[in-house]
A and B are shown apart, each in its own frame.
Chain A
Amino acid sequence: MPPCHVPGSADRDPNLLSYIVNRLLQMIPTLLGVSLLVFFLIWLIPGDPAQLLAPEEASAQDIEDIRRALGLDRPLVVQYGEWVWGVVQGDWGTSLYRRRAVLPELLDRLPATVELALASMLLSILLAVPAGVISAVRQNSWGDNVARVGSLLGLSMPNFWVGIMLILLVAYHLRWLPVSGRGGIEHMILPALTLGTSMMAEVMRVTRSTMLEVIRQDYIRTARAKGLRESTVVYKHGLRNAMISVATVVGLQLGYRLGGTVIVEQVFAYPGVGRLAYQSMLQRDIPMVMGTLLMFALLFLFINLIVDLIYGWLDPRISYA
């Protein structure tokens, strides 16, 4: 349910809780739809899990035995139904390749992905939003030009290249930070920077363009005419109104980041879910693919909900009736 604008109602929503419950309930059919789609799509694309599991020398009989042992010979509807029933009970199945339970493995890896995504989000909010504001307020100044060139670079440089360059410079030549792996904060800096570059660029551009729009509005002129200080005008009247678009972009970008960051995980040997999802797809490891995609979908839905709640906080005109 999209948030609706109710002009003039400034009171805080008494309906907030029921709105949240409602949204949570709506997630169920969405998740079912996503899982159904994914399940049948995997079976639609060419490539057979039992064939890929067996060694290349395998005979048709070997492949058949493997198929039966893993229950892949049963009708798809039965397999899907069993999977759904398992998920409801907290059992997300067993990986065909890894022969280990899917959910614990995902939960083991999730923190690494979440902390990396949050770190890169933090970076982009702390650096890109101020840069965007300055860029907009002092349009066409040298600061604006630097920020714009920077964001263009951030968007155009491929992630893997940025990552390898950072490793070469900071970890190899200067030896300031560890090359790869997960550990303390020092392990997170380079991957977060790498992951953050494109996000920062995106957030900076949106902040700038929205701010440019906002500061041309009448109410900004009014604020200035009242004799308010420029910083109050920019940050309280300008930025606050621009934040809706920024929050949307940050939310979307965070969602993508949580969906795994294959390249950054690869370059920095960082233990996230992205590479796992990618490899499981190549191996047609159906329970693992289903598990990772269900988790991505869940995270995305939650982030959307949080972003919608933030809208209301940013703009009191938005209510959750």
Chain B
Amino acid sequence: MKSSAASTRSARIRTAILAAVLALVVGFAVANNVVVGVSEEATTLDPRHATDVSSAQVTHLVYANLLEWDENLNIAPVLATAIENPDDRTYVFRLRDDVYFHDGVKLTSADVKYTYDTMRDPDFGARNIGFYRDIVSIETPDDYTVVMTLEQPNAPFLYYLNVGIVPMHYAEEHGSDYIANNPIGAGAFVFEEWRTGEYIRLRANPDYFEGAPSIDEVRIRPIPDPITRTIELETGGVQAIDLIDDLDVERLEMDPDIDVMRRPGTGFDYIFLHTQRPPFDDVRVRQAIAYLVPRQAIVESLLYGVGLVAYTPIIPQSWAHEPDVEHFDFDVERARALLVDAGHASGFDIVIEVSSAPRRQMAEVLQQEFAKVGINVTIREREWGALYADMLEGLVDVFIGGWRAQTDPDRGLYRQFHSDNWIPAGANRQQYANERVDELLDAARTNPDFEVRRELYSEAQKIIVEEASYVYIFYPETVAAKSPRLQGFEYDGYFYFRDLRSATLN
């Protein structure tokens, strides 16, 4: 009797354990957990400081923004349901009234005001403070209306309103240093844990105002090495990665178990020519340089085809991109003729500065081509911090660099080509000046009508390209990859993993 009772009990215990184990296994299998491998770890999760890609790709999941934009850079409201523009210096935003922060407190206009008031406060030390200087005041007539008044008309202004809204009550109590590690937002995912160097773990926000995500948990793992990152995807350790090596693109595109996502990036790589320094103070010399860049060959051989040949400073997917500009297609004879014309028949010596290995390779290609017309190139590779400091002093004549985040044409043109922005006032480091360009850029900056702006930018681009203070090489592509199990997910060139809000895992 006794022994049979004991055996029944132990059988029951066994069944219970088995059931528990089963439940656990099934539970794991059912849970929609996604692991994402990223090339760099986030630095901070306070969105007001998170201007680097690695941080922004996390904050865009945790926080909600006033606005976002789509693939073609058309503004799409998120927290704002309507944007009114009563005059060209005033923006009125009507907010949704059904948005709550992750701690249950309602998001109101006061939080929006607080977020942007801190960003434009010099004592706060936001890296992007320069984008908010035009704001004169932010007012909140009621809980769901925000009125921003600008000092002068500023058409691209809306493109800087993509910062996650922080909860005022929480931020004022704890301060930015604390938020950096313990963010609370109103976004699709709730922050759970950050194990520095290992991962950031987020879970779905069931009360997200656009509907709870279908993915239960997202783990964002920094995997800095591109080979390791790719192998993690291939072996199923992660379901998506943010960046793959150009060299791997073709191989992975053939792999049926991997979806490669390619799209134009947000910038361009170019050769910088200081327009106030001989010999580059002569536009013919700059144009000769432009004719000597084998763009297609560089894209094919150095980028393994992952990139688009570039002719203008406006990215190709932008509404302001003007394809009909002087192309300066590779032509040694025309370059030679221009140099002869400029009195440099026997060439000259230049130093090309670079700060990374891929750009040194580009410089080596140019070195060979330039030699054909007697231009002797010395390549100088320096760490970016040192090179950049010299550049801001106006001490660099030629370098190969890249601009990124050129989402609005104003960012790409006004700050780099308007003569008001000569260093140190702005980013016109090549000290380019053209009165007509200044007029066009001023007009485009203050006119809210996109059609008018498009025409103004078209003319400006033609002049800027023609005068070749920059020589454009290529537009890099953003290349990410994912497992086919992750559906409804496209890597977004501007908001990175934002599709995880609506993606599903099969």
A146 within 8 A of B: no
A68 within 8 A of B: yes
Cα(A48)–Cα(B387), bound, Å: 11
Q: List, in ascending order, chain B residues with CB within 8 A of A269's CB.
A: 37, 221-225, 228-229
From A70, A109, A275, contact of B224 by CB (8 A): A275
- How many CB-defined contacts (below 8 Å) exist between A and B? 150
| B interface, size bucket | 35 or more
Q: List, in ascending order, chain B residues with CB within 8 A of A101's CB.
A: 177
CB-based contact B44/A98 at 8 Å: yes
Residue interface mask B40-82, A partner, CB < 8 A = 1: 0001101001010000000000000000000000000000000
CB-based contact A46/B390 at 8 Å: yes
CB-based contact B386/A172 at 8 Å: no
CB distance from B47 to the nearest CB of A (A): 12
Q: List, in ascending order, chain A residues with CB within 8 A of B228's CB.
A: 164, 167, 179-180, 267-269
CB-based contact A55/B225 at 8 Å: no
How many A residues, CB 8 Å from partner? 56
Chain B residues 379 to 412 lying within 8 A of chain A, measured CB to CB, are 383-386, 388-390, 392, 403, 405, 411
CB-based contact A168/B231 at 8 Å: yes
B303 within 8 A of A: no
Q: List, in ascending order, chain A residues with CB within 8 A of B222's CB.
A: 269
Cα(A271)–Cα(B411), bound, Å: 36
Q: List, in ascending order, chain B residues with CB within 8 A of A19's CB.
A: none
Binding-face segment, A58-66, A125-133, A293-301: A58-66
B124 within 8 A of A: yes
Chain B residues 213 to 250 lying within 8 A of chain A, measured CB to CB, are 221-225, 227-229, 231-232, 234-235, 237
Cα(A94)–Cα(B178), bound, Å: 11
A123 within 8 A of B: no
CB-based contact B122/A68 at 8 Å: yes
Q: List, in ascending order, chain B residues with CB within 8 A of A12's CB.
A: none
Q: List, in ascending order, chain A residues with CB within 8 A of B227's CB.
A: 164, 167, 267
Cα(A266)–Cα(B177), bound, Å: 27
Cα(A266)–Cα(B46), bound, Å: 26
CB-based contact B127/A53 at 8 Å: yes
From A65, A182, A266, A267, contact of B198 by CB (8 A): A182
Known: A269-B224, A284-B385. A167 touches B231 (CB 8 A): yes
Q: List, in ascending order, chain A residues with CB within 8 A of B32's CB.
A: none
Cα(A241)–Cα(B232), bound, Å: 47
Q: List, in ascending order, chain A residues with CB within 8 A of B416's CB.
A: 57
Known: A276-B197, A282-B383. A51 touches B130 (CB 8 A): no
CB-based contact A105/B232 at 8 Å: no
Output the residue of B128, B196, B222, B231 with the most chain A CB within 10 A. Answer: B196
CB distance from B170 to the nearest CB of A (A): 16
Q: List, in ascending order, chain B residues with CB within 8 A of A55's CB.
A: 51, 127-128, 130, 405
B488 within 8 A of A: no
A178 within 8 A of B: yes
CB distance from A60 to the nearest CB of B (A): 4
CB distance from B464 to the nearest CB of A (A): 16
Residue interface mask B4-38, A partner, CB < 8 A = 1: 00000000000000000000000000000000010
Cα(A266)–Cα(B223), bound, Å: 7
A230 within 8 A of B: no
CB-based contact B231/A100 at 8 Å: no
Cα(A112)–Cα(B197), bound, Å: 9
Q: List, in ascending order, chain A residues with CB within 8 A of B421's CB.
A: 59
Q: List, in ascending order, chain B residues with CB within 8 A of A65's CB.
A: 122, 125, 129
Cα(A54)–Cα(B176), bound, Å: 18
CB-based contact B177/A94 at 8 Å: yes
From B51, B176, B392, contact of A51 by CB (8 A): B392
CB distance from B134 to the nearest CB of A (A): 13
CB-based contact A179/B197 at 8 Å: no
A171 within 8 A of B: yes
B123 within 8 A of A: yes
A271 nearest CB neighbor, chain B only: B197
Known: A100-B44, A267-B225, A269-B228. A47 touches B130 (CB 8 A): no
Cα(A242)–Cα(B277), bound, Å: 66
**Other CB < 8 Å A-B pairs besides A47-B389, A179-B228, A271-B198, 12 of them?**
A59-B424, A61-B130, A61-B425, A98-B43, A167-B231, A181-B221, A181-B237, A182-B198, A269-B221, A271-B195, A272-B197, A282-B383
- A-B pairs with beta carbons under 8 Å apart, 30 shown: A46-B389, A51-B388, A51-B389, A52-B384, A54-B130, A55-B127, A55-B128, A57-B130, A57-B416, A58-B427, A59-B130, A60-B424, A98-B43, A100-B181, A101-B177, A178-B237, A180-B225, A180-B237, A266-B224, A267-B225, A267-B227, A267-B228, A269-B37, A271-B195, A271-B196, A272-B197, A275-B224, A276-B197, A282-B385, A283-B385
Which 3 A-B pairs have CB atoms at the shortest separation, nearest pair first?
A: A271-B197, A47-B385, A69-B125
Tell me the B residues contacting A by CB distance below 8 Å.
Answer: 37, 43-44, 46, 49, 51, 122-125, 127-130, 176-177, 180-181, 195-199, 221-225, 227-229, 231-232, 234-235, 237, 383-386, 388-390, 392, 403, 405, 411, 415-416, 421, 423-427
